Amino acid sequence: MNTKRFTLRTLVLAAAALSTGLTLAQDKPLKIGVTAGPHAQIFEQVKKVAEKDGLKVQIIEFSDYIQPNAALAAGDLDANSYQHKPFLDQQVKDRGYKIVSVGYTVNYPMGIYSKKVKSLADLKPGARFGLPNDPTNGGRSLLVLQDQGLIKLRPEAGLKATPLDVIDNPKKLKFVELEAAQLARALDDLDAAAINTNFALSAGLTPGKDSIAQENAKSPYVNLIAVREQDKDKPWVAKLVKAYQSEDVRKFIQTEFKGSVLAGF
């Protein structure tokens, strides 16, 4: 009889301990990795919306593009929000990460800038056009030019097109490939250039006002929320995506960034 009582008491205590452990685990904030700047600013708003739905969020800022995925894959983060799918796909291919996209966030539209013309139509034949010299951003820039009707690319070139993939160039643009960070400073020597939003902003350019053309908000380079593959169907993931894609966050993006960052959802 005493043994049975002891066993029953032990089971009750064990169940209580397990229940407490689960509660504590659920009460832990989700660790979300972002890069400093707009991604961090936006997630501060996401955090407020998510808390209304019972999610606690801790925002962790990174200063580079490599560590947020490494930290997520290692289990040090629950999710991250800073990259577009072509970048994630390359990281998965190169590093074998079991990381997946669960929802779209924003687009930092690639812009075309010039100190010499006010529209792409004003570019003269043989104009010097600056492109980022890395495969991702170079191809992205060429796709913007194709969307604007200035060039035509080989269909099979895909997202990593290079100037060698240009099959129609009516204005005979001369492509000058430079480090992405150098293009804004090279505008005096170029007729126009495709410049990433972060580098445009750091050079004092306002994408929504100063660019003469911009990438479509629904381009392949819309940023996303990423989680480990094993977590993608967990309830908190859907809640987090819902919070990000809320009307409150959309309004914040529109008001705060005035066209420099576009909602991609």
Q: What is the pLDDT along the chain (265 residues), one digit of tens a residue?
A: 444 444 444 444 444 444 433 333 447 999 999 998 889 999 999 999 999 999 999 999 998 889 999 999 999 999 999 999 999 998 999 999 999 999 999 998 899 999 999 999 999 999 999 999 988 889 999 999 999 999 999 999 989 899 999 999 999 999 999 998 899 999 999 999 999 888 898 888 988 889 999 987 778 889 999 999 999 999 999 999 999 999 999 999 999 988 888 899 9
Cα 174 from Cα 123, distance rounded (Å) = 11
Q: Residues 21, 32: one domain?
A: yes
Q: Residues 57, 129: one domain?
A: no
The predicted pLDDT at position 11 comes to: 41
Q: Residues 143, 77: one domain?
A: no
First to last CA, the chain: 64
Strand 213-214 versus strand 128-132 pairing type? unpaired
Q: Residues 72, 21: one domain?
A: yes
Q: Residues 101, 128: one domain?
A: no
State the residue range of the domain holding 72: 2-108+220-263
Q: Residues 126, 178: one domain?
A: yes
Q: Residues 8, 84: one domain?
A: yes
0.85 surpassed by pTM = no
- Give the CATH number, domain containing residue 11: 3.40.190.10
Residue 142 near residue 166, CB atoms below 8 Å: yes
Specify the length of the chain in residues.
265
CB proximity list for 70: less than 8 A, separation 6 or greater = 95
